[in-house]
Amino acid sequence: MHARGRTRRVRAVFARISEAATSRAWLIAVALIVAATACGRRRAGEPATVVLLDIGPAKNREYSEWTVQALEGFTRETGIVVQRVLGPESSNEQLVVEHFLDLRPRLGAEAERHFPALVANNVVQGRLVALPYHANVGILFFRTDLLREYGYPAPPRTWRELESMATAIQKGERAKGDDDFWGFVWQGAPYEGLTCNALEWQASDGGGLIVEDDGTISVNNPRVVEAWQRAASWVGAISPPEVVGYRESDAQEVWRAGKAAFMRSWPYLSQDAGSRVRGRFDLTFVPGGSHRHAMVLGENALAVSRYSKHVDEALALVRYLSRRDVQLERARATSLPPTVPDLYDDPEVLRANPYYTPLKKVFLGGAVSRPSSVTGRKYAEVSRAYFRAVHSVLTRQEKPSAATAALERELVWITGFPVATAARDQAAPPAR
Protein backbone atom coordinates (compact mmCIF):
# COMPACT_ATOMS: atom_id res chain seq x y z
CA MET A 1 0.00 0.00 0.00
CA HIS A 2 1.33 3.42 -0.96
CA ALA A 3 0.98 6.63 0.97
CA ARG A 4 -1.09 9.43 -0.52
CA GLY A 5 1.01 12.57 -0.57
CA ARG A 6 2.83 12.82 2.76
CA THR A 7 0.10 11.08 4.80
CA ARG A 8 0.11 7.43 5.72
CA ARG A 9 -2.58 5.60 7.61
CA VAL A 10 -1.49 4.77 11.15
CA ARG A 11 -2.59 1.74 13.09
CA ALA A 12 -5.65 3.21 14.83
CA VAL A 13 -9.24 2.31 14.16
CA PHE A 14 -12.50 3.75 15.42
CA ALA A 15 -15.95 2.26 15.15
CA ARG A 16 -19.34 3.69 15.91
CA ILE A 17 -21.33 0.89 17.41
CA SER A 18 -24.93 0.33 18.41
CA GLU A 19 -26.12 -1.67 21.38
CA ALA A 20 -26.76 -4.65 19.15
CA ALA A 21 -23.85 -3.86 16.88
CA THR A 22 -22.45 -6.29 14.42
CA SER A 23 -19.78 -8.90 13.90
CA ARG A 24 -19.91 -7.82 10.28
CA ALA A 25 -18.85 -4.35 11.39
CA TRP A 26 -16.06 -5.90 13.45
CA LEU A 27 -14.83 -7.85 10.43
CA ILE A 28 -14.64 -4.55 8.55
CA ALA A 29 -12.66 -3.08 11.44
CA VAL A 30 -10.25 -6.02 11.37
CA ALA A 31 -9.73 -5.47 7.67
CA LEU A 32 -8.91 -1.83 8.35
CA ILE A 33 -6.41 -2.84 11.03
CA VAL A 34 -4.69 -5.24 8.66
CA ALA A 35 -4.63 -2.71 5.85
CA ALA A 36 -3.34 -0.01 8.19
CA THR A 37 -0.60 -2.26 9.53
CA ALA A 38 0.47 -3.08 6.01
CA CYS A 39 1.24 0.57 5.36
CA GLY A 40 4.28 0.57 7.60
CA ARG A 41 5.41 3.25 10.01
CA ARG A 42 4.62 6.92 9.75
CA ARG A 43 7.62 9.05 8.83
CA ALA A 44 8.67 11.91 11.08
CA GLY A 45 6.64 15.05 10.42
CA GLU A 46 3.78 13.28 8.72
CA PRO A 47 0.30 14.05 10.11
CA ALA A 48 -1.30 11.13 11.90
CA THR A 49 -4.36 9.57 10.26
CA VAL A 50 -7.02 7.57 12.06
CA VAL A 51 -9.83 5.55 10.48
CA LEU A 52 -13.42 6.14 11.58
CA LEU A 53 -15.73 3.25 10.77
CA ASP A 54 -19.07 5.05 10.73
CA ILE A 55 -22.17 2.87 10.84
CA GLY A 56 -24.45 5.85 11.38
CA PRO A 57 -27.30 7.00 9.14
CA ALA A 58 -25.21 7.63 6.04
CA LYS A 59 -28.34 8.34 3.98
CA ASN A 60 -29.21 11.23 6.31
CA ARG A 61 -27.92 14.24 4.41
CA GLU A 62 -27.80 16.54 7.44
CA TYR A 63 -25.76 14.01 9.41
CA SER A 64 -23.34 13.35 6.55
CA GLU A 65 -22.71 17.06 5.98
CA TRP A 66 -22.23 17.71 9.68
CA THR A 67 -19.81 14.78 10.03
CA VAL A 68 -17.58 16.10 7.25
CA GLN A 69 -17.45 19.51 8.92
CA ALA A 70 -16.85 18.03 12.39
CA LEU A 71 -13.95 15.88 11.22
CA GLU A 72 -12.40 18.83 9.42
CA GLY A 73 -12.68 20.79 12.68
CA PHE A 74 -10.97 17.97 14.56
CA THR A 75 -8.08 17.99 12.09
CA ARG A 76 -7.67 21.76 12.41
CA GLU A 77 -7.67 21.47 16.19
CA THR A 78 -5.33 18.49 16.55
CA GLY A 79 -3.46 18.00 13.28
CA ILE A 80 -4.79 14.43 13.13
CA VAL A 81 -6.36 13.43 9.81
CA VAL A 82 -9.49 11.24 9.86
CA GLN A 83 -10.44 8.84 7.10
CA ARG A 84 -14.16 8.09 7.33
CA VAL A 85 -15.28 4.65 6.16
CA LEU A 86 -18.99 3.95 5.90
CA GLY A 87 -20.17 0.71 7.46
CA PRO A 88 -23.55 -1.04 7.35
CA GLU A 89 -26.46 0.88 8.89
CA SER A 90 -28.01 -2.24 10.37
CA SER A 91 -27.30 -5.90 10.76
CA ASN A 92 -28.44 -8.89 12.74
CA GLU A 93 -25.07 -9.72 14.24
CA GLN A 94 -23.23 -8.40 17.28
CA LEU A 95 -19.93 -6.65 17.59
CA VAL A 96 -17.30 -8.64 19.49
CA VAL A 97 -16.76 -6.06 22.20
CA GLU A 98 -13.83 -7.76 23.91
CA HIS A 99 -11.71 -6.49 21.03
CA PHE A 100 -12.25 -2.91 22.19
CA LEU A 101 -10.21 -0.88 24.61
CA ASP A 102 -11.47 -0.18 28.13
CA LEU A 103 -12.01 3.59 27.99
CA ARG A 104 -12.61 4.12 31.70
CA PRO A 105 -8.96 4.83 32.70
CA ARG A 106 -8.60 7.61 30.12
CA LEU A 107 -12.16 8.83 29.50
CA GLY A 108 -13.96 8.01 32.73
CA ALA A 109 -14.43 11.69 33.60
CA GLU A 110 -15.93 12.40 30.16
CA ALA A 111 -18.34 9.49 30.58
CA GLU A 112 -19.86 11.12 33.66
CA ARG A 113 -21.17 14.00 31.51
CA HIS A 114 -23.51 11.73 29.56
CA PHE A 115 -26.83 10.10 30.45
CA PRO A 116 -26.01 7.38 33.02
CA ALA A 117 -28.24 4.85 31.26
CA LEU A 118 -26.29 5.31 28.02
CA VAL A 119 -22.95 4.93 29.77
CA ALA A 120 -24.17 1.80 31.57
CA ASN A 121 -25.28 0.43 28.21
CA ASN A 122 -21.63 0.44 27.11
CA VAL A 123 -20.25 -1.32 30.17
CA VAL A 124 -19.55 -5.00 29.51
CA GLN A 125 -18.16 -7.13 32.34
CA GLY A 126 -17.03 -3.99 34.15
CA ARG A 127 -15.26 -2.50 31.12
CA LEU A 128 -16.37 0.76 29.50
CA VAL A 129 -16.01 -0.40 25.90
CA ALA A 130 -17.51 2.70 24.25
CA LEU A 131 -18.47 6.30 24.95
CA PRO A 132 -21.97 7.60 24.03
CA TYR A 133 -22.10 9.44 20.73
CA HIS A 134 -25.75 9.86 19.90
CA ALA A 135 -28.84 8.50 21.54
CA ASN A 136 -31.82 6.75 20.04
CA VAL A 137 -34.90 5.24 21.57
CA GLY A 138 -38.15 3.83 20.23
CA ILE A 139 -40.68 6.62 19.78
CA LEU A 140 -44.19 7.08 18.37
CA PHE A 141 -44.75 9.54 15.53
CA PHE A 142 -48.33 10.81 15.24
CA ARG A 143 -50.24 13.09 12.86
CA THR A 144 -51.28 16.16 14.83
CA ASP A 145 -53.63 17.34 12.06
CA LEU A 146 -55.50 14.04 11.93
CA LEU A 147 -55.84 13.79 15.68
CA ARG A 148 -57.46 17.25 15.69
CA GLU A 149 -59.70 16.38 12.75
CA TYR A 150 -61.00 13.23 14.42
CA GLY A 151 -61.45 14.80 17.83
CA TYR A 152 -58.53 13.32 19.78
CA PRO A 153 -57.02 15.82 22.24
CA ALA A 154 -53.85 13.79 22.85
CA PRO A 155 -51.87 10.91 21.32
CA PRO A 156 -52.54 7.36 22.52
CA ARG A 157 -51.20 6.41 25.93
CA THR A 158 -51.91 2.67 25.66
CA TRP A 159 -51.94 0.03 22.96
CA ARG A 160 -55.74 -0.18 23.19
CA GLU A 161 -56.03 3.57 22.60
CA LEU A 162 -53.65 3.28 19.65
CA GLU A 163 -55.74 0.52 18.09
CA SER A 164 -58.95 2.50 18.56
CA MET A 165 -57.56 5.75 17.18
CA ALA A 166 -55.76 4.09 14.28
CA THR A 167 -58.92 2.19 13.31
CA ALA A 168 -61.10 5.31 13.36
CA ILE A 169 -58.66 7.51 11.45
CA GLN A 170 -57.97 4.81 8.88
CA LYS A 171 -61.69 4.30 8.31
CA GLY A 172 -62.27 8.03 7.94
CA GLU A 173 -59.40 8.61 5.51
CA ARG A 174 -60.45 5.69 3.34
CA ALA A 175 -64.01 7.00 3.30
CA LYS A 176 -62.56 10.15 1.73
CA GLY A 177 -61.01 8.04 -1.05
CA ASP A 178 -57.52 7.36 0.32
CA ASP A 179 -57.75 3.59 -0.06
CA ASP A 180 -54.10 2.87 0.78
CA PHE A 181 -54.10 4.81 4.04
CA TRP A 182 -53.15 2.83 7.16
CA GLY A 183 -53.48 3.47 10.86
CA PHE A 184 -50.08 2.28 12.10
CA VAL A 185 -46.76 1.35 10.50
CA TRP A 186 -43.73 -0.18 12.21
CA GLN A 187 -40.78 -2.52 11.60
CA GLY A 188 -41.98 -6.11 11.21
CA ALA A 189 -39.29 -7.73 9.05
CA PRO A 190 -37.24 -10.53 10.67
CA TYR A 191 -34.22 -8.45 11.74
CA GLU A 192 -32.99 -6.48 14.76
CA GLY A 193 -35.66 -3.83 14.33
CA LEU A 194 -38.35 -6.41 15.08
CA THR A 195 -36.51 -7.36 18.27
CA CYS A 196 -36.81 -3.71 19.34
CA ASN A 197 -40.50 -3.46 18.51
CA ALA A 198 -41.50 -6.76 20.07
CA LEU A 199 -39.50 -6.13 23.23
CA GLU A 200 -41.45 -2.89 23.66
CA TRP A 201 -44.74 -4.76 23.25
CA GLN A 202 -43.97 -7.38 25.85
CA ALA A 203 -42.02 -5.26 28.34
CA SER A 204 -44.85 -2.73 28.46
CA ASP A 205 -47.14 -5.53 29.63
CA GLY A 206 -44.67 -6.82 32.21
CA GLY A 207 -43.54 -9.73 30.06
CA GLY A 208 -39.86 -9.30 30.83
CA LEU A 209 -36.74 -8.68 28.78
CA ILE A 210 -36.33 -12.06 26.99
CA VAL A 211 -33.32 -12.83 29.19
CA GLU A 212 -33.27 -11.09 32.56
CA ASP A 213 -30.29 -9.37 34.15
CA ASP A 214 -29.87 -12.31 36.54
CA GLY A 215 -29.28 -14.66 33.61
CA THR A 216 -32.67 -16.37 33.54
CA ILE A 217 -34.79 -16.88 30.43
CA SER A 218 -38.22 -15.30 30.92
CA VAL A 219 -39.75 -15.10 27.46
CA ASN A 220 -42.20 -17.99 27.77
CA ASN A 221 -44.99 -16.42 29.81
CA PRO A 222 -48.63 -15.39 29.30
CA ARG A 223 -47.86 -11.68 29.08
CA VAL A 224 -45.52 -12.23 26.13
CA VAL A 225 -48.08 -14.47 24.45
CA GLU A 226 -50.72 -11.77 24.84
CA ALA A 227 -48.42 -9.01 23.52
CA TRP A 228 -47.40 -10.99 20.43
CA GLN A 229 -51.00 -11.95 19.72
CA ARG A 230 -52.07 -8.33 19.94
CA ALA A 231 -49.42 -7.27 17.42
CA ALA A 232 -50.36 -10.08 15.06
CA SER A 233 -53.94 -8.78 15.06
CA TRP A 234 -52.72 -5.46 13.66
CA VAL A 235 -51.40 -7.04 10.45
CA GLY A 236 -53.93 -6.47 7.68
CA ALA A 237 -56.19 -4.54 10.06
CA ILE A 238 -54.54 -1.24 11.09
CA SER A 239 -51.16 -2.12 9.54
CA PRO A 240 -50.54 -3.17 5.94
CA PRO A 241 -50.00 -6.89 5.28
CA GLU A 242 -46.57 -5.93 3.96
CA VAL A 243 -45.54 -4.61 7.38
CA VAL A 244 -44.09 -8.06 8.15
CA GLY A 245 -41.37 -7.12 5.64
CA TYR A 246 -40.87 -3.51 6.75
CA ARG A 247 -37.60 -2.06 8.00
CA GLU A 248 -37.16 1.56 9.07
CA SER A 249 -36.91 2.91 5.53
CA ASP A 250 -40.08 1.10 4.43
CA ALA A 251 -42.16 2.42 7.31
CA GLN A 252 -40.71 5.89 6.80
CA GLU A 253 -41.64 5.86 3.12
CA VAL A 254 -45.29 5.21 3.97
CA TRP A 255 -45.19 7.84 6.71
CA ARG A 256 -43.53 10.56 4.63
CA ALA A 257 -46.06 9.96 1.86
CA GLY A 258 -48.84 10.85 4.31
CA LYS A 259 -50.26 7.33 4.26
CA ALA A 260 -50.26 6.55 8.00
CA ALA A 261 -51.62 8.07 11.18
CA PHE A 262 -48.97 6.60 13.49
CA MET A 263 -45.44 5.23 13.08
CA ARG A 264 -43.11 3.59 15.58
CA SER A 265 -39.54 4.53 14.70
CA TRP A 266 -36.48 6.46 15.96
CA PRO A 267 -36.06 10.20 16.65
CA TYR A 268 -33.33 10.64 14.03
CA LEU A 269 -36.02 10.16 11.37
CA SER A 270 -37.84 13.30 12.50
CA GLN A 271 -36.16 15.45 9.85
CA ASP A 272 -39.16 16.16 7.64
CA ALA A 273 -37.70 18.13 4.73
CA GLY A 274 -39.51 17.09 1.56
CA SER A 275 -42.10 15.11 3.48
CA ARG A 276 -45.82 15.46 2.78
CA VAL A 277 -46.42 15.52 6.54
CA ARG A 278 -43.96 18.33 7.21
CA GLY A 279 -45.19 20.47 10.11
CA ARG A 280 -48.13 18.13 10.73
CA PHE A 281 -46.71 15.59 13.18
CA ASP A 282 -45.17 15.26 16.60
CA LEU A 283 -43.40 12.61 18.70
CA THR A 284 -44.45 10.97 21.94
CA PHE A 285 -43.78 7.89 24.05
CA VAL A 286 -44.44 4.47 22.57
CA PRO A 287 -47.81 3.38 24.00
CA GLY A 288 -47.82 1.60 27.33
CA GLY A 289 -49.37 -1.69 28.31
CA SER A 290 -50.64 -2.91 31.65
CA HIS A 291 -47.22 -2.41 33.24
CA ARG A 292 -45.58 0.76 31.87
CA HIS A 293 -44.22 2.55 28.82
CA ALA A 294 -41.25 0.60 27.45
CA MET A 295 -39.06 2.21 24.81
CA VAL A 296 -36.04 0.28 23.58
CA LEU A 297 -32.67 1.96 23.63
CA GLY A 298 -30.84 2.22 20.33
CA GLU A 299 -27.77 4.22 21.25
CA ASN A 300 -24.70 4.60 19.03
CA ALA A 301 -21.30 4.95 20.65
CA LEU A 302 -17.58 5.38 19.95
CA ALA A 303 -15.10 2.58 20.54
CA VAL A 304 -11.36 2.09 20.04
CA SER A 305 -9.62 -1.08 18.89
CA ARG A 306 -7.49 -2.80 21.54
CA TYR A 307 -4.89 -3.44 18.84
CA SER A 308 -4.30 0.19 17.97
CA LYS A 309 -0.65 1.28 18.08
CA HIS A 310 -1.80 4.92 18.23
CA VAL A 311 -4.19 4.99 21.16
CA ASP A 312 -3.63 8.67 21.96
CA GLU A 313 -4.85 9.79 18.53
CA ALA A 314 -7.79 7.39 18.73
CA LEU A 315 -8.84 8.60 22.16
CA ALA A 316 -8.53 12.20 21.02
CA LEU A 317 -11.17 11.62 18.35
CA VAL A 318 -13.50 9.86 20.79
CA ARG A 319 -13.09 12.72 23.27
CA TYR A 320 -13.74 15.31 20.55
CA LEU A 321 -16.85 13.74 19.00
CA SER A 322 -18.48 13.14 22.38
CA ARG A 323 -17.73 16.64 23.66
CA ARG A 324 -20.61 18.90 24.71
CA ASP A 325 -19.81 21.71 22.27
CA VAL A 326 -19.48 19.30 19.35
CA GLN A 327 -22.75 17.58 20.24
CA LEU A 328 -24.37 21.00 20.55
CA GLU A 329 -23.43 21.86 16.97
CA ARG A 330 -24.65 18.45 15.79
CA ALA A 331 -27.98 18.90 17.59
CA ARG A 332 -28.45 22.25 15.86
CA ALA A 333 -27.72 20.78 12.44
CA THR A 334 -29.28 17.30 12.60
CA SER A 335 -32.07 15.35 14.29
CA LEU A 336 -29.69 12.94 16.03
CA PRO A 337 -30.37 13.21 19.78
CA PRO A 338 -27.38 14.22 21.94
CA THR A 339 -26.15 12.19 24.89
CA VAL A 340 -25.41 15.16 27.18
CA PRO A 341 -28.50 15.84 29.37
CA ASP A 342 -28.38 19.63 29.61
CA LEU A 343 -28.47 20.03 25.83
CA TYR A 344 -32.16 19.06 26.01
CA ASP A 345 -32.74 22.34 27.88
CA ASP A 346 -30.93 24.51 25.33
CA PRO A 347 -33.46 26.86 23.63
CA GLU A 348 -31.62 26.87 20.31
CA VAL A 349 -31.47 23.08 20.25
CA LEU A 350 -35.17 22.82 21.04
CA ARG A 351 -36.02 25.31 18.29
CA ALA A 352 -34.16 23.13 15.80
CA ASN A 353 -35.61 19.91 17.23
CA PRO A 354 -38.85 20.52 19.15
CA TYR A 355 -39.34 16.76 19.17
CA TYR A 356 -36.55 16.44 21.75
CA THR A 357 -38.85 17.60 24.55
CA PRO A 358 -40.05 14.14 25.73
CA LEU A 359 -36.73 12.40 25.15
CA LYS A 360 -34.82 13.66 28.18
CA LYS A 361 -37.26 11.93 30.54
CA VAL A 362 -36.92 8.70 28.57
CA PHE A 363 -33.12 8.72 28.67
CA LEU A 364 -33.18 9.52 32.38
CA GLY A 365 -35.13 6.40 33.23
CA GLY A 366 -37.75 5.24 30.76
CA ALA A 367 -35.61 3.33 28.26
CA VAL A 368 -35.36 -0.46 28.06
CA SER A 369 -32.13 -2.19 27.04
CA ARG A 370 -31.96 -5.33 24.98
CA PRO A 371 -30.28 -8.24 26.83
CA SER A 372 -26.92 -7.74 25.16
CA SER A 373 -24.88 -7.30 28.35
CA VAL A 374 -26.12 -10.45 30.07
CA THR A 375 -25.87 -12.61 26.94
CA GLY A 376 -22.56 -11.16 25.74
CA ARG A 377 -21.25 -12.78 22.56
CA LYS A 378 -24.42 -14.87 22.36
CA TYR A 379 -26.64 -11.83 21.89
CA ALA A 380 -26.69 -12.08 18.10
CA GLU A 381 -28.00 -15.66 18.28
CA VAL A 382 -30.47 -14.73 21.02
CA SER A 383 -31.86 -11.83 19.03
CA ARG A 384 -32.04 -13.86 15.83
CA ALA A 385 -33.96 -16.64 17.55
CA TYR A 386 -36.27 -14.07 19.14
CA PHE A 387 -37.19 -12.08 16.04
CA ARG A 388 -37.70 -15.25 14.02
CA ALA A 389 -40.12 -16.52 16.66
CA VAL A 390 -42.00 -13.22 16.72
CA HIS A 391 -42.12 -13.14 12.93
CA SER A 392 -43.60 -16.63 12.82
CA VAL A 393 -46.48 -15.32 14.95
CA LEU A 394 -46.96 -12.15 12.88
CA THR A 395 -47.16 -14.25 9.70
CA ARG A 396 -49.49 -16.74 11.43
CA GLN A 397 -47.13 -19.65 10.89
CA GLU A 398 -47.10 -20.35 14.64
CA LYS A 399 -49.43 -19.72 17.53
CA PRO A 400 -47.92 -17.40 20.14
CA SER A 401 -47.91 -20.00 22.93
CA ALA A 402 -46.15 -22.56 20.74
CA ALA A 403 -43.66 -19.95 19.51
CA THR A 404 -42.67 -18.78 23.00
CA ALA A 405 -42.29 -22.36 24.24
CA ALA A 406 -40.05 -23.27 21.30
CA LEU A 407 -38.09 -20.06 21.72
CA GLU A 408 -37.48 -20.83 25.39
CA ARG A 409 -35.96 -24.20 24.49
CA GLU A 410 -33.80 -22.60 21.81
CA LEU A 411 -32.53 -19.90 24.17
CA VAL A 412 -31.62 -22.50 26.78
CA TRP A 413 -29.61 -24.30 24.11
CA ILE A 414 -27.93 -21.07 22.90
CA THR A 415 -27.05 -19.60 26.28
CA GLY A 416 -27.04 -22.45 28.77
CA PHE A 417 -29.08 -20.20 31.07
CA PRO A 418 -31.87 -21.55 33.29
CA VAL A 419 -35.54 -20.81 32.79
CA ALA A 420 -37.23 -18.26 35.05
CA THR A 421 -40.04 -20.59 36.09
CA ALA A 422 -41.89 -17.85 37.97
CA ALA A 423 -42.48 -16.05 34.67
CA ARG A 424 -44.71 -18.88 33.44
CA ASP A 425 -47.07 -18.34 36.35
CA GLN A 426 -47.77 -14.72 35.44
CA ALA A 427 -51.36 -14.01 34.63
CA ALA A 428 -52.10 -12.46 31.26
CA PRO A 429 -52.45 -8.66 31.56
CA PRO A 430 -55.79 -6.95 31.41
CA ALA A 431 -56.42 -5.37 28.01
CA ARG A 432 -55.33 -1.77 27.78
Q: Which of 7, 13, 11 is CA-nearest to residue 317?
A: 13
Write down the pLDDT at residue 10. Answer: 36
Half-sphere exposure of 8 toward its Cβ, with a 13 Å CA cutoff?
A: 18
Tens of pLDDT, residues 106-137: 999 999 999 998 898 888 778 898 899 988 89
Tens of pLDDT, residues 298-357: 878 888 888 887 889 989 999 999 999 999 999 988 888 999 999 999 998 998 888 888
87: left (phi over 0), alpha (psi -120 to 50) or beta: beta
What phi and psi values does residue 311 have, to the nearest 5 degrees? -65, -40
What is the model's pTM? Answer: 0.83
Percent of the chain clearing pLDDT 70 (strictly above): 82
Q: Which of 66-75, 86-95, 201-210, 390-399 has the lowest mean pLDDT?
A: 86-95
Does residue 31 surpass a pLDDT of 50? no
* Total number of residues shown for the chain: 432
Distance (Å, rounded) from C-alpha 106 to C-alpha 313? 12
- Give the other-Cβ count within 10 Å of 416's Cβ: 9
Write down the pLDDT at residue 224. Answer: 98
What phi and psi values does residue 415 have, to the nearest 5 degrees? -100, -25
Contacts of 410 (CB under 8 A, 6+ apart): 385, 389
Does residue 1 surpass a pLDDT of 80? no
Average pLDDT over residues 391-413: 98
Average pLDDT, the chain: 84
